[in-house]
Chains A and B, each alone.
Chain A
Amino acid sequence: MEIAEHLLYTKDHEWINIEGDEATIGITDYAQESLGDITFIELPNIGDEVEQFGDFVSVESVKAASDIFSPMSGEVIDVNDDLKEDPGLINRSPYDKGWIARIKLADPEEQSNLMTAEEYAKFLESVG
């Protein structure tokens, strides 16, 4: 199970890459593996306001539909349009080509509620 070193993580298996006051969001390798083949994603609209740990996007795999939550609050400034035609990018490249959206951060302090890569690795061990 791959965990990217430079990212922050949630207990719901989302990741966030903070670059200044903007950030990119996706789901982890563990998440894509658990979901199986991802077949559909409902992306947010640019301009949508999202809250930390609030509803963000919904994804469907062959097996089920699941909700993805935003790791931090902010405004959506970009979405990965490639996922509309090829949501399997999330399975093949969860930390890179399978990114979901970028947000402008509302409150950088919120990152203290997230886990480092090391903490997330321990968390995964604890959930077995």
Chain B
Amino acid sequence: MHVAMNMLNKEQLQRTPLYDEHVALGAKMVPFGGWAMPVQYDSIIKEHGYTRKAAAIFDISHMGEFIIEGNCVENGLDAIVTMPLRDLPIKSCRYGCALNEQGGVMDDLIIFRLEEEKWFIVVNGATTQKDKAHFQKHLKNKTVFTDVSMKTGKIDLQGPLSLNVLSSFVADAGKLDYYTCDYFDLMGERVLISRTGYTGELGYEIYFPWDKTKDLWQALISRDDVKPAGLGARDILRIEMGYSLYGHELGEDISPLESGLDRFVSFEKDFLGKLALLKQKGQGLKRKIVGIQSETRRAPRQGQKICLESGEEVGVVTSGTFSPSLGLGIGLGFVAAQSAALGAKVFFGDQKSKNVASVVSRTFYKDGSLRHKTI
């Protein structure tokens, strides 16, 4: 067997406030977007299982956070992102993208409306500096932009039992509905918690002071009903839900329409990249995103070709994994727009192996606790 080792050059990688905790837990650390991150603690499949059936915590401190103050129309924020902001209720969040002029995705992000004129933006870790420059370039003068990324630690608590866990720290956590946020008193800190996540399960994202994130992690991990989960499990969980990952299904040369994010794009307002998207709609998309489900446990892998029964090559796999929930290989990929309709038989693989799969809805896993009512 040939084992490809991920060489971890620790000198060049940034560390989250939980780096020492991960090492102490015996995590395998890997480079991810310039950060040293835990890919697994014990078994990726077990960590996936804790999240689907109980509760798991993820260190997501590498992600970037910005605070923008001012009227979102006057300061230009509304025109930088694809989702509608003007009607966003206070203490609610929305998912969307920031685009370039060509309609390509600079990043996908979540915006929280903290106050009438105060916005909290969560962006990907690997793109934080690029996003910061993009926002600062396009925001108008009458605003205050603050990058709080290195002051803000972040722990995601995810799983059907996550509310039980959180409730023992903050009594009224159950009041948070899906995609809302609020401030809570947690271990002596006044902190922001949102009911959001990347797993398809009921879950919360806790924004905590960087220097104290370790204390929160230790308090959570000391409980019997909470286990740590790494990026390996996180990737499976998000692929099972058909969620896009920047650098895979999203990028500067991919439009949000191609990656199936139409419902996070408001054509009722003006935004950077809108003209390019309208042109694309007029001409028709050249490619589209699909879910593919293997007939066996063998997983599609990023970069593999997607072919029709005739042998015609129609696309490429962008993410793939074995799905523990389905017991089958699953993947996401782009195919030529007029090919591979839902239900179509396709093949994925390379010269060594050709594997049969079906084109399916990207929501591979449909039994998640994501939208359970807790109020």
Contacts and interface: CB of A to CB of B under 8 A. Distances in A.
B214 interface: no
Given A40-B296, A40-B297, A60-B298, A34 B44 contact: no
Interface centre among A37, A42, A60, A67 (most CB of B within 10 A): A37
A98 interface: no
Contact of B43 (A12, A27, A36, A65): A36
Interface in A44-60: 58-60
B40 A67 contact: no
Contacts of B353: 42, 58
Given A36-B43, A36-B44, A39-B299, A66 B322 contact: no
B3 interface: yes
Contacts of A6: none
A31 B4 contact: no
A14 B161 CA distance: 41
Contacts of B298: 40, 42, 60
Contact of A68 (B1, B5, B321, B329): B1
Contacts of A88: 45
B327 to A, nearest CB: 9
A120 interface: no
Contacts of A63: 39, 44, 232
Given A58-B353, A62-B322, A63-B232, A37 B45 contact: yes
A101 B121 CA distance: 54
A106 interface: no
Interface residues of B, number: 22
A37 B1 contact: no
Contacts of B301: 64-65
Nearest to A87: B297
B3 A31 contact: yes
Contact of B322 (A14, A31, A40): A40
B232 A12 contact: no
Nearest to B352: A58
Interface centre among A31, A39, A64 (most CB of B within 10 A): A39
Contacts of B321: 62
Interface of B: 1-5, 39-40, 43-45, 232, 236, 296-299, 301, 321-322, 329, 352-353
19 contacts: A13-B1, A14-B1, A31-B1, A35-B1, A36-B40, A36-B44, A37-B43, A37-B44, A39-B322, A40-B296, A40-B299, A40-B322, A42-B298, A59-B1, A62-B44, A62-B322, A65-B301, A66-B4, A68-B1
